[in-house]
A and B are shown apart, each in its own frame.
Chain A
Amino acid sequence: MATDNSFARLMKSYGRLTIFLIPIGIAVNFVGGQIALLLKLPLYLDSIGTILVGATCGALPGALVGLLSNAINSITSPPTFAFAILNVLFGLLAGLLGRYGVFKSWWKTLLSAIPFAFIGGFGGALITIWVLGGAAVGGTGLVVGSLVAAGMPVNTANFVAQLPIDLVDKVPTVLIVFAIISGIPRRLMVKLPLGYVYLSPSGGGPGTGATGASRVR
């Protein structure tokens, strides 16, 4: 039967709500970037949906959001697809961290920006060097170009530019994810695959204890 294949079985294991949250996660990635532009922020903020879905639905749905976001983005900006692996890794990492309850407290969430920034910065620099020959595009490209013009080797310039830029981007990203997770109502949270993590009595996460109860509407 056409519908009874591995994708359908995988999605079924994650629950029906996950199927609806994947498109929303993809859209949030786009909308996040658009809002950043509207607010004139010098940040990407284009992986909020990936981390959000990963943290609430699990690693594989998060990775799928990352992959599809870059695939759709590549329609208008094809080089973006080369960086899809980074967004996939963000989703996988968010799922893993979400399972361990990292997004239940703000300070753990803040610390999680470091591995996300490492993946984005280090991986982004590697892909730029391997696939684009070190020719970064966008704002990062200008920083890399300036460093090269100042005499730095192109590979070093990519790492030096991309790691701090990604850290500055990922700190607000994970804090926004934390704020949104904190606002997810308990009756919806209970239906999400990783909802039990956030509803469990241990820790001060969303939907738990006195502080959690005040956050859950």
Chain B
Amino acid sequence: MSADQDRGGAAIRAEDFIDGFRRPATQGNRVRDMNPISVFLVLGSLAVIAVAVPGIVAPSTVCVVLVLISLAGGVGRPFIGNFSRLFVAIGLLLFVLRSAFAGGTPVLFTIGAITVSMEGVLEGLRFALVVMAISGTVTLYFALIPIKYSMLALELKGVTPRATYVLLAAFQAITDLGKNARVIMDAQKARGIETEGNFVQRVRAFVPVLAPVFLSAIAATEEKAIALDARAFNSRVNHSHLVTLRPTPAWEVVFVAIAILCAVVACAGAVVPWY
């Protein structure tokens, strides 16, 4: 390939890259391209339905619907993996403990001081399913929507950039400080700090690992402050954005309205029983 063709290809790629910022951000999927606030409202409505409607059918159905949404959103594999782990680590534990402690009748069996009844099992099952439905909505939201789009949507609704910065920076800091901590721990081990041994020895090893992580992070804040000032972060005018969200289509508004209406009906049903 000639040098001219090389330069031509690079120019086209650069043009595509620049053009990407002229169009609304897309993740190439209709569900994931929904406005983050719309997704929040739909998933929030599902969580409300799981809590408000009595019995185990509603929370079970919500869990299934969450899996279907994740498949439609193209995040089925990671979501189902995480959701299954939550079911085993938290759902199963809550079910077992709740069933064991709930009491009730008829008694199914007794182990020592623990009496398990049918009433307790049903209550435990509903409780675990409701917690799993709520957990699933939170997990699915973050699987579908990148945090930066959520913050952008909030900023566009008038939330101060300082608040959104705090959240975005927190996610970034968790990753950065986690990496730093591992590097510092290896360095301190190499310097002879005992990271194994008895309890007191291991607690004492905590300070030489965490203190440098925190102090270096504080020292870096000055550079961050200068970088943000250079970008007029503290300017008292509306901020411009490199990324834009696509305008909310009419079908999305109708879809959100239906979801909220279902949640309201479920709540009304909980207050004035219709079942």
Contacts and interface: CB of A to CB of B under 8 A. Distances in A.
B60 interface: no
Contacts of A26: 170, 173-174
Given A24-B218, A78-B134, A48 B238 contact: no
Interface string A6-22: 01100100001101111
Contact of A151 (B102, B113, B134, B182): B113
A145 interface: yes
B114 interface: yes
Chain A interface mostly: helix
Interface in B156-174: 158-163, 165-167, 169-174
Nearest to B218: A188
B213 A28 contact: yes
A92 interface: no
Interface stretch (A34-42, A99-107, A112-120, A198-206): A34-42
Given A31-B181, A45-B206, A75 B158 contact: no
A148 interface: yes
Contact of B113 (A19, A36, A148): A148
Contact of B173 (A19, A24, A36, A183): A24
B72 interface: no
Given A3-B161, A35-B185, A35-B209, A75 B138 contact: yes
Interface in B184-220: 185, 195-196, 199, 202-203, 205-207, 209-211, 213-215, 217-219
Contacts of B32: none
B237 A1 contact: yes
B98 A135 contact: yes
B173 A78 contact: no
A35 B94 contact: no
Interface string A34-67: 1110111101010010001000000000001000
A135 B170 contact: no
A150 interface: yes
A137 interface: yes
A193 interface: no
Nearest to B102: A133
Contacts of A16: 225, 234
**In terms of DSSP, what is the predominant structure of the interface of chain B?**
helix
A76 B89 CA distance: 11
Given A21-B221, A24-B173, A150-B113, A41 B206 contact: yes
B211 A183 contact: yes
Nearest to B168: A23
Interface stretch (A83-91, A159-167, A172-180): A172-180
Contacts of B30: none
A30 B171 CA distance: 10
A178 to B, nearest CB: 10
Given A27-B177, A31-B178, A41-B199, A36 B206 contact: yes
Interface residues of A, number: 63
Contacts of A136: 97
Contact of A72 (B114, B174, B219): B174
B11 interface: no
Contacts of A148: 100-101, 113-114
Nearest to B103: A154
A57 to B, nearest CB: 11
B57 interface: no
A134 interface: yes
Given A19-B165, A68-B166, A176 B207 contact: yes
Interface string B221-239: 1001100000000101111
A123 interface: no
B93 A135 contact: yes
Contacts of B185: 35, 38
Given A72-B171, A76-B82, A176-B211, 19 more contacts: A5-B158, A16-B225, A20-B224, A24-B214, A24-B217, A26-B173, A26-B174, A27-B177, A35-B206, A39-B202, A40-B202, A45-B206, A52-B214, A68-B166, A135-B101, A145-B97, A148-B114, A149-B112, A172-B203
10 contacts: A2-B159, A3-B160, A11-B162, A19-B162, A31-B177, A31-B210, A43-B203, A68-B166, A72-B171, A180-B210
- Top 9 nearest A-B pairs (CB, nearest first) are A135-B97, A27-B173, A23-B169, A78-B135, A20-B221, A23-B170, A26-B170, A27-B177, A23-B173
